[in-house]
Amino acid sequence: METVVIAPNWVGDTVLAQPVFEALAASGRKVKVLARPHLRSLLSLMPSVSDSLTRSTSDEQTVEAMRAQRFDEAVILPNSFRSAWLPFRARVPTRWGYGGRFPSWSFRSPLLKPSVRRPKVSGRHQSADYQELLEAMDAPVPNLWQPHLSLSQEAQTAGRDLLARARLAPGPAPVVGLFTGAEFGPSKRWPWRRFVALARDLRRTRPDVRIVLIAGPKELWLAVRIHEETGKIHPVVGPDLDLADLAAVLDQLDLLVTNDSGPMHLAAGLGVACVALFGPTDPTRTRPVGPEHQVLYTDRWCSPCFRKRCPLIHHRCMRDLSVDRVVETSAHLLDSLEGSQ
């Protein structure tokens, strides 16, 4: 069966959907994924995805590309009207997706065939939100909703070469990445000056640690400021890389200290331990999946608020995460990782 999956638009959400792709492939379906252009290199790291299609800015072009493939069914993961409209327009005969539970979804329910009623998801991780959808499709439901990304030997070598070019040659000393960004908005970002203090204090606590500043194009100015404020000794890597190459770099890390972000889920999918800093979002829902990660969350009365900017101005949910606490957690996690080797 030729199946097209309409992927989420965010990097982290696409990583968390990887168990769904795997379950669909295990059920005998040939899985192709419709995704934004920047996500296609990420999908290449998922063996269960046989191919990917580019979701164009033009809906007409996207619909024509889907029609040409003559898909038997579509699996619609995003909850938007538009994501259901595309396979409907492309005349895909079977269109699986959630709909109907909230008023904002009522208009998309007629576009689904069949429409699956979305259950209440309070208290469970976002990666398991598609469980009822898979059950309706008679696809095997994963016992463990843990994304897994695969890197070839060539990609691993490329990751080592990229760090070597940044003067971080392979060696016994642990490599710690710092990621300062968050696509959602500034409310999810730990203040960049805290990352400066973290880099300095972590080196005092663990002098053997080597630090690399991970950045996409939108985080470059933050990374450069930290690079300059810390004496220009910590290289900046990532703004010119696609997601597959970024994954190859993240795979070389021993630890990533990060906001709730796409690279956090990307690193977790590669098995890289994370210290994840949460504030306006809910770690119960979007924490990195796996036992090796540590989540720091102040759990204030006003959080999670899910706002892009702090409506109370003070941004205490992130500012109350002290540098000392992050340093202590990072050093402890490094010690435990080295002890388990």
Question: What pLDDT is recorded for position 238?
Answer: 93
What per-residue confidence (pLDDT) applies to 111? 93
Containing domain of residue 6, as a range?
A: 2-136
The residue from 106, 136, 166 where one domain ends is 136
Domain-embedded: residue 149: no
Are the CB atoms for 294 and 311 separated by under 8 Å? no
**Is residue 161 located within the same domain as residue 285?**
yes
Instruction: State how far Cα 104 lies from the chain centre.
Output: 25
Does residue 143 lie within any of the structural domains?
no
The total domain count for the chain is 2
Residue appearing with tokens 């941004």 = 315
Identify whether 48 is part of a domain: yes
Quote the DSSP letter at residue 260: S
Distance CA 75, CA 96 (A): 5
If phi > 0 it is left, if psi is from -120 to 50 it is alpha, else beta; for residue 232 that is: left
CA 310 – CA 302 distance, rounded (Å) = 10
Strands (E), the chain: 2-6, 30-35, 51-54, 73-76, 94-98, 115-116, 175-179, 210-214, 236-237, 255-259, 273-278, 294-297
Q: Give the mean pLDDT of the chain.
A: 93
Measuring CA to CA, which residue among 230, 189, 181 is closest to residue 209? Answer: 230
- Average pLDDT on 203-224 reads 94
Do 81 and 201 share a domain, yes or no?
no
Is 103 in the same domain as 172?
Answer: no
36 lies in the same domain as 71:
yes
Which helix (H) or strand (E) covers residue 226, if one does? helix 220-229
Range 25-53 burial, b when 16+ CB lie within 10 A, else e: beeebebbbbbbeebbbbbbbbebbeebb
In whole angstroms, what is the distance from residue 81 CA to residue 309 CA?
A: 26
Both 178 and 126 in a single domain? no
Closest CA to 319 of 138, 121, 186, 157: 186
Question: In 3-state terms, what secondary structure has residue 102?
Answer: coil
On whether both 111 and 251 belong to a single domain, the answer is no
In DSSP terms, 295 is beta-bridged to 276
What integer is the mean pLDDT of 246-253?
Answer: 97
Tokens in use for 213? 């500043």
Q: Based on the domain organization, do 279 and 185 belong to the same domain?
A: yes
Model confidence at 5: pLDDT above 60: yes
% of the chain surpassing 70 pLDDT? 98
110, 164: one domain: no
Same domain, 131 and 180: no
- Is the previous residue joined to 304 through a cis bond, with omega within 30 degrees of 0? yes
Residue 144, domain member (yes or no): no
Q: Which CATH number is 213's domain given?
A: 3.40.50.2000
In a domain, 241, yes or no: yes
Q: What is the pLDDT of residue 184?
A: 78
Does a structural domain hold residue 9?
yes
Percent of the chain with pLDDT over 90: 80
| pLDDT digits 0-9 by tens, 60-95 | 999 999 999 999 999 999 988 899 999 999 999 999
Edge to edge, what strands does the sheet with 115-116 contain? 51-54, 30-35, 2-6, 73-76, 94-98, 115-116
Residues 165 and 51 in one domain: no
Contact residues for 179 (Cβ-Cβ < 8 A; gap 6+):
214, 215, 219, 256, 257, 258, 259, 261, 263, 264
d(CA 233, CA 219): 18
The pLDDT score that the predictor gives to residue 76 is 97
Are residue 187 and residue 260 in the same domain, yes or no? Answer: yes
Q: Which residues contact 240 (CB under 8 A, 6 or more apart)?
A: none
Residue 293 in any domain: the answer is: yes
Rounded to 5 degrees, what angle do the CA atoms 37, 41, 42 make? 105
The pLDDT, as a whole number, for residue 312 is: 84
Residues 320 and 197 in one domain: yes
**Contact at 8 Å (CB) between 304 and 282?**
yes
Retrieve residue 120's tokens: 């209440």
pTM for the whole structure: 0.94
Q: First CA to last CA across the chain, in angstroms?
A: 43
Give a yes or no: residue 151 inside a domain: no
**Residue 302, token pair as written in the block:** 């006003």
- β-pairing, 175-179 vs 115-116, is unpaired
Q: The tokens of 262 are what?
A: 């796409």
Dump pLDDT digits (tens) for 14-30.
999 999 999 999 999 99
